[in-house]
Amino acid sequence: MLRPNALARFAAAALIGPLAAPGAEEKDHRHRDDLAPLMTAGLLDRKETVRPELFTRYWRDVHGPLAARIRGFEQYWQHHLGAPLADCWPRFAGVELRVPDDDRIEGFAETTFRQAADREKLGTDPAAQALFHDEQNVFRATYLCPTTPGDSRTLLDWLPDGAPQGRPLAAAKVIVLVRAARGAARAAFRAFVGE
């Protein structure tokens, strides 16, 4: 995962599905992207003085419920990250898979919005202000990366409930964040990732 100060442009793709193959009655729900086409990724850098296990618990049990009070979120997901799995990806010419230690993050929050007005309210929403104030407790830094429609795409979604509200999921969610090489043109980068 990369901090946005090192991130020129990025794309996100997700594969979401149960740990076992879906039954015939299950279907792909990736159309949810059409209902909430705007996404903001909040990339999170843990304070060095906060132990990883405390960080995980605090973000999940204290900070997360604060986020759940914000009006306008269609979905709110927390992604607690481990070590990058660069070795599981195929090699592509011109694509670097190693994440420099200085660019790694502890996790990111993914929020989706139905319309731009919902996202714009974050600046004035009292619950959002409380959330931003709470960030200083465990985060060294947070970086918000808002997308425009098409910057983020779900490739597969077999979850019948798109808003599980904190219930554990027997599912795997794979998210790929990709940054463009320095100097890469936006259109060429988007075409490369899309293809």
Q: In a 3-state reduction of DSSP, which class is residue 73? A: coil
Render pLDDT for 122-162 as a digit per residue (tens, 0 to 9): 888 899 899 989 999 999 988 888 887 777 777 777 777 77
Backbone Cα Rg of the chain: 17
pLDDT digits (tens, 9 = 90+) for 161-192: 776 666 666 666 777 777 777 788 878 887 77
CA distance 15 to 174: 5
17 bridge partner residues: 172
Does residue 81 sit in helix, strand or coil? coil
112 token code pair: 């989706």
**pTM for the whole thing?**
0.72
How does pLDDT run across 55-82, given as a tens digit for each residue?
999 999 999 999 888 888 888 888 887 7
Q: Quick one: 177 exposed, middle or buried, by C-beta within 10 A (0-12, 13-18, 19+)? A: buried
Q: In terms of C-beta distances under 8 Å and separation of at least 24 residues, what long-range contacts does 17-24 make, across chains too?
A: 17/156, 17/157, 17/158, 17/159, 17/171, 17/172, 18/158, 18/159, 18/170, 18/171, 18/172, 19/170, 19/171, 19/172, 22/158
Phi (first) and psi of residue 20, to 5 degrees: -105, 160
| pLDDT for residue 47 | 92
* Inter-residue contact 39 to 108 (CB < 8 Å): no
pLDDT at 6: 35
Average pLDDT over residues 14-22: 52
Higher pLDDT, 185 or 33: 185
Return the closest-CA partner of residue 147 out of 107, 100, 186. 186
CA distance 73 to 153: 17
More confident of the two residues 93 and 3: 93
